[in-house]
């Protein structure tokens, strides 16, 4: 099972294992990682599972398609950056084993 490391805004890392096919958001929720709210449960409706993808992983996770639902949700998410993603929209694959994402200070 792929490993994903979530780094809280205060620097605390949480490394969890999750099944292929889940979303990165689900991996956080199932392992009670603080800092991912996921109000809408993965519907891309709330932007409260916002993460910054580590530079080394951007090529594998990709960025939201311009004009997509995810891109418009991120356009005003708390402290949006060029490496911002909504973690509910990143599907876990074997390729993402070792993925590192960082969390913003808040999700609202």
Partner 1 sequence: MTSDRIIIAGAGHAGGSAAAMLRQLGWKTGITLAGEEPLPPYQRPPLSKAWLKGEADADSLALRPLGFYNDADIELRLGTTVTKIDPAAHQVTFGDGDTMHYAHLILATGSRARRIPLPGIDQANVLELRTAADADRLKAALGPGKRLAVVGGGYIGLEAAASARSLGAEVTIIELMPRVLARVACEILSNFFQDFHRAQGVTIELGAGVRALEGHGTVTGVRLADGRLIPCDAALIGVGGVPNEELARDAGLACDGGIVVDLTARTSDPDISAIGDCTKRPLPLYHRSMRLESVPNALEQAKQAASAICGRPPPAPEIPWFWSDQYDLRLQIVGIPFDATEIVVRGDVAAGKFALFHLTEDGTVQAVEAVNASTEFMGGRRIIQRRKQLTAARIADMAVTMQELAA
The footprint of partner 1 (CB under 8 A) covers: 29-32, 34, 37, 39-41, 43, 45-47, 69, 72-73, 75-77, 106, 108
CB of residue 49 vs partner 1: minimum separation in angstroms?
12
The answer to whether the beta carbons of residues 96 and 57 sit under 8 Å apart is: yes
In the numeric block, the tokens 């311009």 are attached to: 66
Nearer to partner 1, 23 or 61 (CB): 23
Nearer to partner 1, 60 or 63 (CB): 63
In angstroms, the CA 95 to CA 108 distance is 30
Closest listed residue to residue 108, CA positions, set 81, 79, 75: 79
Nearer to partner 1, 64 or 99 (CB): 64
In angstroms, the CA 58 to CA 46 distance is 22
CB of residue 18 vs partner 1: minimum separation in angstroms?
11
């Amino acid at each position: 099972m792929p490993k994903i490391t979530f780094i809280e805004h205060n620097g605390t890392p949480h490394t969890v294992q999750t099944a292929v096919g889940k979303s990165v958001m689900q991996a956080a929720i199932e392992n009670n990682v603080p800092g991912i709210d996921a109000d809408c449960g993965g519907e891309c409706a709330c932007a409260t599972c916002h993460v910054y993808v580590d530079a080394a992983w951007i090529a594998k996770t990709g960025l939201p398609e311009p004009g997509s639902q995810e891109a418009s949700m991120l356009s005003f998410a708390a402290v949006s950056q060029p490496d911002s993603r909504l973690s509910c929209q990143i599907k876990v694959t074997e390729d993402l084993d070792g993925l590192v994402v960082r969390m913003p200070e808040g999700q609202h």
